[in-house]
Amino acid sequence: MATWRKRELGGLLLLLLLGVCSPVCVEVSSGTEAVQGQNMTLLCISCMQREEVYAVTNVEWYYEPGNGNRSLIFEYIEGKAREHVHSPFKGRLQWNGSKDLQDVSLILHNVTLADSGRFICNVNRTLHFEQHQHSTSSNVEIFLTVSTIKKEDFTSVLSEIMMYILLAFLTLWLLIEVVYCYRKISKAEEVTQESVTDYLAIPSENKESCPVPVEEQ
């Protein structure tokens, strides 16, 4: 009975460890604002609900400008990532997907003002079970806006203001400490000078029996 309980506890502990150590996929939305001349990550995360099942994943990226003419710009098919021959971003797209293909993002290099528009990430998966196969699909849409100057976000501005306030406070505190230490040293020097002056004023025949007072530090 004790051996069975030990095995049960050991199995339960192993399951808990596997649950803690297994990778976690979190679906995060992509940024939608880019700056002309910089690189932009088009984030597309599509989590698998059952990671223990073997799956074949194919990805298609589409671009739709303001006129509504959608075109295929990139694809990941049968384990190979390639840019479409008629892509308007020719030579500027880079595959940035993860090994488990839950993150199937792209990097758009050297963004231009003409790159503003709608990007569609289409993920198709075929799950292979023992008795059957099951296909799933998901779409992520990114409405990209390109500007010539990076817009300051309120949080970053507030953080910068707080940093300057803290810096000013530390500078003031340091100045107060320097003044305090200077006054303390000056006062100690005055006391020492007075003691020496008093000692010199004592007749020479009495100096041997009159030690110079030393201020305790």
For residue 15, is it within any domain?
Answer: no
CATH of the domain at 143: 2.60.40.10
For residue 101, is it within any domain?
Answer: yes
Q: Which two tokens stand for residue 74?
A: 């990139």
Report the pLDDT value the prediction gives residue 140, as an integer from 0 to 100. Answer: 94
For residue 6, is it within any domain?
Answer: no
For residue 60, is it within any domain?
Answer: yes
Report the pLDDT value the prediction gives residue 200, as an integer from 0 to 100. Answer: 62
Report which of residues 89 and 11 the model is more confident about.
Answer: 89
The closest alpha carbon to 83, from 57, 113, 107, belongs to 107
pLDDT tens digit string along 115-146? 999 999 999 999 888 888 888 899 999 999 99
For residue 42, is it within any domain?
Answer: yes
Report the pLDDT value the prediction gives residue 204, as an integer from 0 to 100. Answer: 60
pLDDT tens digit string along 60-97? 999 999 888 899 999 999 899 999 988 999 999 999 99
Do 135 and 85 fall within a single domain? yes
Confidence band for 113, pLDDT divided at 50, 70 and 90: very high
Domain that holds residue 178: 155-206
Tally the domains of the chain. Answer: 2
Do 191 and 162 fall within a single domain? yes
Three-class DSSP labels, the chain: CHHHHHHHHHHHHHHHHHHHHCCCCCCCCCCCEEECCCCEEECCECCCCCCCCEEEEEEEEEEECCCCCCEEEEEEECCEEEECCCCCCCCCEEECCCCCCCECCEEECCCCHHHCEEEEEEEEEEEECCCCEEEEEEEEEEEEEEECCCCCCHHHHHHHHHHHHHHHHHHHHHHHHHHHHHHHHHHHHHHHHHHHHHHHHCCHHHCCCCCCCCCCC
Which of the residue ranges 57-71, 141-155, 186-200 would you say has the lowest mean pLDDT?
186-200
Confidence band for 196, pLDDT divided at 50, 70 and 90: low
Do 110 and 32 fall within a single domain? yes
- Residue 123 contacts residue 59 (beta carbons within 8 Å): yes
Report which of residues 55 and 160 the model is more confident about.
Answer: 55
Kindly report the length of the chain: 217
Which of the residue ranges 13-17, 138-142, 165-169 would you say has the lowest mean pLDDT?
13-17
Do 45 and 131 fall within a single domain? yes
Strand 54-64 versus strand 33-35 pairing type: unpaired
Report the pLDDT value the prediction gives residue 210, as an integer from 0 to 100. Answer: 53
For residue 217, is it within any domain?
Answer: no
The closest alpha carbon to 74, from 187, 63, 64, 65, belongs to 63
